[in-house]
Amino acid sequence: MTNELLRYFRAKEKERASETAAATQCPFCSVQCTLQLVEERIVERRRYKAVPTDNPTSNGRLCLKGMNAHQHALHPERLLVPLAKVDGRFVRVRWEEALSLIAERIISIQKEDGVDAFAVYGGGSLTNEEAYLLGKFARVALKTRHIDYNGRFCMSAAAAAMNDAFGLDRGLTNPLSDIPLAQTIILAGTNVAECQPTLMPYVYEAKKNGAFIIVVDPRETKTAALADLHLPLKPGTDAALAVGIGKVLLDEGYIDEAFVRERTVGFAEWKQHIEAVEMDEIVRLTDVPEEKIRLAARKYGEAADAIVLTARGLEQQTDGYAAVRQWINVVLATGNIGRPGSGFGSITGQGNGQGGREHGQKADQLPGYRSIEHPQHRRYIASVWGVAPDELPRKGVSAYEMMQKIDAGEITGLLVMGSNPVVSSPNAAFVAKAMQKLKFLVVADMFLSETAELADLVLPVSSYLEDEGTVTNVEGRVCFRPAARKRLGEVKHDWEILCDIACKLGKGRFFPFTSAEEIFNELRLASRGGKADYYGVTYERLRRERVYWPCPDAHHPGTPRLFTERFAHPDGKARFAVLPFRPEKEETDEWYPLYLTTGRVLAHYLSGTQTRRSPALSARQPEAVVEIHPRTAKRYGIGPGMLVRIETRRGAAVVRSRYNDQIREDTIFVPFHWSGLGQINNVTSDELDPHCRMPAFKRCAARVRPVVDLGRN
């Protein structure tokens, strides 16, 4: 290299500003991996990179989404000022005008249509502090019963099932470090490799230790490719499969009679029910060969320690609650819970799906997992909030049922915070039309999402890089997330917006908070003595460690493993359940001969509002595709990469085809992260689980055909 070139590069090096690094954590899935965001300045250019840091959940790992999460937070389309819609166009308004308008419209709507006519719709990515405050805001500032959140579409089936079976719902009953101790692991309806990839090393380690891995999924996912046994069942028949495995366990003597006798109730009724089941019927319903069902049951029954993990694949059904209960029956019958290497869990999807449902966003819940209908629970929370118990509203309805009430004119005003229901809801075209009937819609978001496009007022909120707070991860660990950067423009935190609106409504004395930590300290008190007890968790402690709840006092170590001695019901015993297992769901016929199922892909997250604005992630998968078996595709004249029209009884979507010879020939799969023509939730079923009101995202009847001329189709 010449001297001139050396001098040039050295001069450039001097222009380089020193690197800065700030601690934060990924905003996406429930693992909540930690990282340092490194900013490097060279002259006037800035470059960013995410460097993983160690923590006890992901052990220093970071996936594709986490490595690129900063791209959406720094995106030029970030909303920086409040926007009001005037004559069909958004115009900038001052915060004072925006807040005054919100208060004015809330007051007028509630005066005209009743207090319950104004509703609140939250999100599973909000921090614990913001989820808690949103619940308090609905019940104290608005006095409305109508609050729910997008976590209804994520964890409601498993949460209801675990509460009824165990008396307590926490995503995993065991720490993740127990997974490598198991001799058999059943992954039912969960594609960990794409949805929570930084957890896969736990499964790899278990396999290295000799564990037998069983995956239940209609298609061979990247997770199923790792399995020793893959059970490609017919979509929507998960409950029947679990019953079949339970029958083999019962018939072949794998029942832990001492555990059943001492720690459960309802076994005799379950046994009588299972004895009457015919394996031929299970095989017919699931389309899984009997020898494979028996092998799965034997491997689970023979294991000294075994773990069952479920997720949305079996939970997002009209019998998702029953499917989870059937798997819990299997766990209880064999006594595989409450010790190292043995347990049950539902792998939480959203970043704060666990904490988001513990402290008041759900229609029927108060902080600490208390029930809004329970007199004692109401009295306690009312005392914390400084209101009379009879001032608290009663329970409302689920997220999708709120949309039905909007369509019916019973809800006429709505605040959406941290969610995009126009894309994430089932039968989403109906939801979009319903929301246009609202008298007033206000959306708090980082971007002009598909839902925000319909709003009368849009409020700019902080990103994960700017918003200090806590989240509760898949293990039930409470995690502190520091603010890594200053807020941009006129952006506010979600919790600040709620406090500001409350002040405008004359309820400021109930919302005096000036920091996230102040809110968390009230949350701690509100949760005290509840099932999800955070009282012993403080910011000071969280800056040193991630703490498992329940943690009732400052000296308590936290509870990594649940149910070691007793379950959370008053008698200390778990409950077996006798429930139907024959699907009463939308069936295929000659007009709609295929099963449509939906899910995620590695590069994207939820409605795609954030990940579609990440250049690195969007480039990896820029559009929705339909996975279809080559033989099925050829029957309908569909070539690889061809545009395909997917029709159901609710409408149509257009996506590109992708051949997959490892999916069932009667099943097609489409991810749900896109809007527009490729928005698959426009056609998904809006039937709801009767126990938990979970929609049936994972199964509906469909037909496909190639798109030759978009104008004619």
Residue 42 is predicted with a pLDDT of 73
Q: At residue 146, what is the residue type?
A: H
- 13-27, 47-61, 188-202, 646-660: segment of lowest average pLDDT: 13-27
Residue 2 is predicted with a pLDDT of 61
Which residues contact residue 494 at a Cβ distance below 8 angstroms, ignoring those fewer than 6 apart? 126, 127, 130, 133, 134, 417, 418, 444, 461, 462, 467
Please say whether the beta carbons of 319 and 689 come within 8 A.
Answer: yes
Is the pLDDT reported for residue 281 higher than 80?
Answer: yes
Is the pLDDT reported for residue 11 higher than 60?
Answer: no
Confidence tier at 710 by pLDDT (50, 70, 90): very low
**Closest CA relative to residue 219, chosen from 586, 633, 665, 589:** 665
Confidence tier at 12 by pLDDT (50, 70, 90): low
**How does pLDDT run across 447-488, given as a tens digit for each residue?**
999 999 999 999 999 999 999 999 999 999 999 999 999 999
**Calpha distance 482→641 (Å, rounded):** 44
Share of the chain above pLDDT 90, in %: 92
Tell me the three state secondary structure of residue 597.
strand
Confidence tier at 711 by pLDDT (50, 70, 90): very low
Name the segment(s) of the chain with CATH classification 3.40.50.740. 83-150+352-481+493-548
**How does pLDDT run across 539-582, given as a tens digit for each residue?**
999 999 999 999 999 999 999 999 999 999 999 999 999 998 88
Residue 713 is predicted with a pLDDT of 42
DSSP state letters, 325-340: HHHHHHHHHHT--SBT
Mean pLDDT of 111-127: 97
Q: Distance between terminal CA atoms of the chain?
A: 63
**Residue 387 neighbours by CB distance under 10 Å:** 17
Between 492 and 353, the more confident residue is 492
**Calpha distance 585→64 (Å, rounded):** 36
In sequence order, what are the beta bridge partners of 659? 628
Q: What is the CATH number of domain 83-150+352-481+493-548?
A: 3.40.50.740
Residue 266 is predicted with a pLDDT of 98
Mean pLDDT of 181-198: 96
Mean pLDDT of 400-414: 98
Mean pLDDT of 508-528: 98
DSSP state of 488: P
Superfamily name with CATH number, domain 172-346: Dimethylsulfoxide Reductase, domain 2 (3.40.228.10)
**Calpha distance 578→664 (Å, rounded):** 30
Mean pLDDT of 107-113: 98
Work out the angle at residue 357's Cα, subtended by the Cα atoms of residues 354 and 363, and round it to the nearest 5 degrees: 165
Q: Average per-residue pLDDT in the chain?
A: 95
Positive/negative CA dihedral, 402, 408, 411, 416: positive
Confidence tier at 86 by pLDDT (50, 70, 90): very high
Is the pLDDT reported for residue 9 higher than 60?
Answer: no
Residue 617 is predicted with a pLDDT of 94
Name the segment(s) of the chain with CATH classification 3.40.228.10. 172-346
Positive/negative CA dihedral, 366, 369, 370, 373: positive
Residue 7 is predicted with a pLDDT of 65
Q: What is the CATH number of domain 594-706?
A: 2.40.40.20
**How does pLDDT run across 229-273, given as a tens digit for each residue?**
999 999 999 999 999 999 999 999 999 999 999 999 999 999 999
Is the pLDDT reported for residue 420 higher than 70?
Answer: yes
Which residues contact residue 151 at a Cβ distance below 8 angstroms, ignoring those fewer than 6 apart? 123, 124, 350, 353, 356, 357, 361, 362
- 109-113, 353-357, 511-515: segment of lowest average pLDDT: 353-357
pTM: 0.94
What is the token pair recorded at 155? 């964890």
**Calpha distance 150→607 (Å, rounded):** 11
Helices (H), 312-372: 312-315, 320-334, 353-358
Residue 15 is predicted with a pLDDT of 52
Mean pLDDT of 182-199: 95
Query: What is the edge-to-edge ordering of all strands in the sheet holding 343-346?
Result: 229-231, 212-216, 184-188, 306-310, 343-346
**Closest CA relative to residue 321, chosen from 701, 562, 579, 123:** 579
* Strand blocks (E) in 104-202: 118-122, 147-149, 184-188
Please say whether the beta carbons of 150 and 125 come within 8 A.
Answer: no
What is the token pair recorded at 319? 């019998």
Residue 712 is predicted with a pLDDT of 42
Q: What is the 3-state secondary structure (H, E, C) of 162-183?
A: HHHHHCCCCCECCCHHHHHHCC
Is the pLDDT reported for residue 3 higher than 70?
Answer: no
Name the segment(s) of the chain with CATH classification 2.40.40.20. 594-706
